[in-house]
Structure 1
Amino acid sequence: MGAFDECCDDCRCYSCRDFWWCVLCVAILAAVALIVVLVAAFGFVRHVSVTVDDASLTRLALVGAPATATALAYNLSVTLTVRNPNWAMGMANTKPLDAAYSFDGQQFDRLRLAGEGDKHPAGKTRVYRLASGSGGAPVSLGNAGVAEFHKENATGVFEVEVTVRGEVKYTARAAKCAIEATCPLKLQLAPPGQAPAAFVFQKVKCKLAKAEKNC
């Protein structure tokens, strides 16, 4: 083992008495390094991060019976970013990735961000710019939700929640991992004739639901 020890102590292979011990030494070191890299790359999953970088609301009004309005008229723009923080593992959607809008816990719209099979490369950030509106999006507010609307309407600041849901599979891993992120927004309604850009939006980091054991 003396030649092996000498090779491990001295990287200059020409100094080793036994060439094959030197080759073995280098092979062992290379194998250990490869194992370390593979474990670091594929042994642990870092879950996605979701943020709302910008949002603006230019219309939000009740439509329907005064006491139990059944629809919302709205114009809402949202910029969502989804980042894959894994440096070696890409991910592919095993279910579509959607964003849903809710007011007072009641969903009034849902938008498709990416379809099933869409791929998100390792280390990359995807930006989704959403602009949607409706003259009467169905929503079951009830009298409690109507009361909350009037309360927020009096201040001009509305609380709208964006929920991002999907399911992905990471490279070299068998498990399918659900994505569910909630993004609570406080949006200043722009008065008529006032540009939305006049209001400064504070970036929101969305809260991820607890990941499954293998994710």
Structure 2
Amino acid sequence: MSVVVDSREASSHKRMVEMLSRRLEVKVKFLPVGDYLLSNKLLVEHKDVLGFVNDMRSGRLREQVRLLKSVDGCDKCILIEGWLGLIQRFSRIKPSAVARCIDTLIFHYGIPVIQLPNKEWTVEWLVAKAISLEEARVKRPPVIQRPKRTVKEVVLSVLQSLPGISSERSIKIVKSGLFKDLQDFVMHPGRLIHLKGVGEKTVKSVEEALRYPWKNILEG
């Protein structure tokens, strides 16, 4: 039985990878979408409870669902790990909003949502699922490709790749009127200081990233 773990997921959940390695053949590599690919048959997006809520609010979840839906050749699901009651303790979002979101994922997008209490249960489920899929394992892994993006999506993606620029903040930048286009933003990033909620530290980090000499990258 085999499982491919996304390299970013493996880096942030080393204990889970170790636990899986004791029972499955684990390969760590970059996956454009999803965190676990089980027996080349099931792509799993793994989130803890608060991460799920944060991605809901920022709009990142919508983008991840779009990418999951673009994958051909395997089934997809979202695994939420942790106690849902934490949402009421550490977030202002209403339980009804979370319930509606999960309902939409299942019934509108056709993506099953698995909810488990902790890492141990998550590992047990991943192992059990990989074993159950093994008999029907495909010989060739599914081709996971990002769908062609629109110019609008490319612009927002560039903004969101900069330090301190979230999905929500990138939209605010576009709507602010401080910049006429991406080139104007690159030429005058200091104007960000006039955007509500943006401090000098964020502006400085953005400027450093935009002005960083490429020769330093090549020199390692």
Bigger radius of gyration: 1
Could you say which TM-score interval applies, normalised by the shorter chain? under 0.3
Compare the two structures and name the one with the higher strand fraction: 1
TM-score, structure 1 as length reference: 0.20
Compare the two structures and name the one with the higher helix fraction: 2
Q: Taking CA–CA contacts closer than 8 Å with sequence separation of 6 or more, which of the two structures ends up with the larger relative contact order? A: 1
